[in-house]
Amino acid sequence: MPSATLSTRAYEASPNVGQASLPVTHIKMPDVLLQLEDLKTYFTVEGGPARAVDGVSFTVEQGKTLAIVGESGCGKSMTGLSILQLVPEPAGYIDGGKVLFEGKDLLDSTWEQMREIRGKDIAMIFQEPMTSLNPVRTIGWQLVEAMEVHGTARGAEARKRAMDSLDRVGLSGPDVVMRQYPHELSGGMRQRVMIAMALSNRPKLLIADEPTTALDVTVQAQILALIRELQQETGMSVLLITHDLGIVAEVSDSVAVMYAGQVVESASTLDLFKSPMHPYTQGLFASIPSRSRRGQDLLTLDGIVPPATAWPSGCRFEPRCRHAWGTCKSVAPKAAPKGADRPVRCHLYDPDIADRPSTSAAPTAEVLP
């Protein structure tokens, strides 16, 4: 299944590079590595199930980067954990849906099969590099273990590869780092170690859950550049979970915007930045400070994401939406009323909804930063 032509450069689609994001023209169907279909992850809490992930579908293509964007509490991290079936037990459980990885539904696999996939085929890095390493084990030990659990390499061979990988992620003096404990490293260094660990078995998919959120801005850029570089080298796909649209613009090929446990809009990065369609996406863009709106008040999205136990019955964004009208309160919008090419979960784009007030014509926002 893997084909060399598909390991397209990750940043081709970024707006800065312009016309390079043509692959969306469907001349050739790209190979799909991961496909989520109607994934539902619920939590048992007081007051009914908390539907943290409620029918999420998206695809990650071979060698490409998909970014999941959304506010805190919209279910993006849980989506990532659900793929590896690492939802915190006993409260959390996967209620339904499919996680097709290379055509096989991961939800059908046993615990042991899943363990084989974790770290080997799909690796994950977390938001907090400060706590994601075992505090009482040396960096070397942890890197070697990552290989040994999957039998990729052992003993001296594993140590040599660990040193190489530390060198590869830009840590100088790998032999010293190998003997160090996590608390002796800075946040950026630890995240580099995490990346080295995650990539030590050459995974086909890397799930990066806010990999740069805990780091300062200069280190953020370095880490993103590193992930991009390594992606080019290995041809892996990346599922990037973030709330930062700046990062999305920089590294991803396509974007899925999540709100209240659902994907509300997905598009190629270029299309999304050119013309965000869902009112929520528009709101996200409008709340980024921009040179073109110098002197104006910064727009904000009023309110917060409702709790997962009490999603609104109609459109989930309706309470915060500027364009909402009566129908939005009672009828849940279709996932893709405009067609599968550009899924936007909004009544504004649904030709079957007739009672749209004239004032709520499909908005266009001048938003490009």
Partner 1 sequence: MTMILSDIIPIAIVGLFLFVIIRAGREPLWEEAYRRLGSNRQTMAAIVVMSLFIAIGILDSITVSVSNSGKPQTIVDVMFRGIPQERTYSEPMGTVTVGEPHPHELKHKHIFGTDGVGRDVFYNMLKGCRTAIIIGCLTQLIAMPVALVLGMLAGYFGKLTDDLIQYAYTVLDSIPGVLLLIVIITVLSLKGQERGLLQICTALGVTSWVQLCRLVRGETLKHRDRDYVRAARALGVSHGRILLRHILPNLLPILIITATLGVSGNIISETILTYLGVGVPPDIGSWGNMIDSARMELARQPVIWWNFSVASLAVLILVLCINIFGDALRDAVDPRLRS
Residues of this chain that bind partner 1 (CB under 8 A): 84, 86, 88-90, 115-120, 123-126, 128, 131-138, 145-146, 149-150, 179, 181, 183, 194, 197-198
* 268, 13 Cβ separation under 8 angstroms: yes
Q: How far is the CB of 57 from partner 1 (least distance, A)?
A: 23
Give least dist CB 183 to partner 1, A: 6
CB 104 within 8 A of CB 98: no
Of 75, 117, 119, the closest CA to residue 99 belongs to: 117
The minimum distance between CB 300 and partner 1, in angstroms, equals 31
Side-chain-side CA neighbours of 223 within 13 Å: the count stands at: 29
Residue 83: which of 239, 286, 291 has the closest Cα?
239
Considering the complex, what minimum distance in angstroms separates the CB of residue 266 from partner 1? 25
Smallest distance from partner 1 to CB 261, Å: 21
Q: What is the identity of the amino acid at 87?
A: V
Angle, CA 69 vertex, CA 67 and CA 133 arms, to 5°: 75
Of 4 and 136, CB closest to partner 1: 136
C-alpha–C-alpha distance, residues 232 and 64, integer Å = 10
Q: How far is CA 258 from CA 175, 276, 366, 367, in A?
A: 42, 13, 21, 19
Q: Which residue has the tokens 């594993």?
A: 158
Nearer to partner 1, 181 or 325 (CB): 181
Give 119 or 261: the residue with its C-beta nearer to partner 1: 119
Given the complex with partner 1, which of 88 and 339 has the nearer CB atom? Answer: 88
Q: Which is nearer to partner 1, 47 or 135 (CB)?
A: 135
